[in-house]
Amino acid sequence: MSSEETLRRWRLILGRYAAQPLSQAEFSSGDWKLDQALEYLYGREYEGRGLARPSGGGGPGSLDPSQLRAVDWLNRSRKLFPQDVFERMQTQAIDRYQLTDLLNDPAVLRSLDATPGLAKALLGMRGRLSSQMRDAVREVIQKTVDEITRKLKNDFVNALVGRRNRMRRSHIKSAQNFDARATIAANLKHYDVERKQIVIEQPRFNARVKRNLPWDVVLCVDQSGSMMDSVIYSAVIAGIMSSLPAVRVKLVVFDTAVVDLTHMAHDPVEVLLTVQLGGGTDIGRAVAYCESLVGNPQRTVFALISDFMEGAAPGPLLAAVQRMAQSRVTLLGLAALDESANPVYDRQMAQRLADKGMHVAALTPTHFAQWLAEVMN
């Protein structure tokens, strides 16, 4: 990377406070637009620390943040930045800097790109919003849930409803059932010598084995603030599995209290709008309650989704886990259940739970579906 490009990037990172020290950085008109958008949002970080906003600092036609409305900033940033960067900035605008214009106008809120990060931010502050804004929040949460469901549903259906039967052909053209080997073998006679390619005239697909799975899946979800990403995915997964045949889902959320949401497990949006974030953590109490839900231990999967940071004495928790393990309940402790699967958890407690018979892991939703399929098979 050239020294000019390095200066340019540092100037964008440091903002207007670096305008004089890095005055030799060469900015194009596009760079000034980026600088304005970044300054409007992240300049608040300096103000929050008591630093005065520097005067001037700009380039041609620069705007002070007071002149740039939040709605204008939102529309401009959507065009200036890559989608993943914009989504991160959008979430931070609400979660960290709480831009008032975005939180007071339902139309603006509905225009935001629905992402798990945005849903997490809105759920964290929904108690401070007007009833009119709460309706808009519900719509954003619904869009987020619909998008996650669209991405995950096939994984769970394919894993839990039936495996591919390579001995039977299917007329249903589905990417998940595509049989590459059989397709190549059937179409070798259509090889195009000039293009050096096989022309696929007859793609082949496998049928699936339908099977009944008389299993209960108990999802026990820690609703503390640090677990919010996992709460969102747990709610969606509960909704997906509730629609599958012969899989009975029980959904329990907890902090120091235990709330059984099994009756609304089919509706992830309602679940997410019901959970209360924050508070202490009594994992043992929640696990003991879930133990009482077990009817057929050998056909029950118990998934504890938590950071394992027990706020109560650990004895009841470890005893309940040991009892369920001895009765042959399949136990899984998930330190994270989301797309990143980067957990922060109490490793000592996780090891103690593993010693009592619980499998402990951090999984993406797809890997969780695969794990369930292996257990239930």
Computed over every residue of the chain, the mean pLDDT equals 81
Nearest to 213 by CA among 251, 241, 255: 241
Q: Whole-model pTM?
A: 0.69
Query: Which among 349, 360, 297 is positioned nearest to 323, based on CA atoms?
Result: 297
Computed on alpha carbons and rounded to an integer, the radius of gyration of the chain in Å comes to: 26
Taking only the tens place, the pLDDT of each residue in 330-373 is 999 999 888 888 888 999 999 999 999 999 999 999 999 989 98
Per-residue pLDDT, 214: 77
pLDDT for the residue numbered 69: 65
Q: Decide if pLDDT at 129 tops 80.
A: no
- What is the pLDDT at residue 21? 56
Q: Render pLDDT for 319-332 as a digit per residue (tens, 0 to 9).
A: 999 999 999 999 99
More confident residue, 232 or 227: 232
Question: Which pLDDT score, from 0 to 100, does residue 61 have?
Answer: 44
Task: Report percent pLDDT > 90 for the chain.
Answer: 37
Handedness of CA 92, 94, 96, 98 (dihedral sign): positive
155-202: per-residue pLDDT in tens? 888 878 755 555 555 555 556 567 778 888 878 888 878 888 888 877
Residue 55 has pLDDT above 80, yes or no: no
3-state SS of the chain: helix, strand, coil percent to 5?
Answer: 55, 15, 30
- Asked whether residue 73 carries a pLDDT value surpassing 50, the answer given is yes
pLDDT higher than threshold 50 for residue 60: no
pLDDT of residue 18: 63
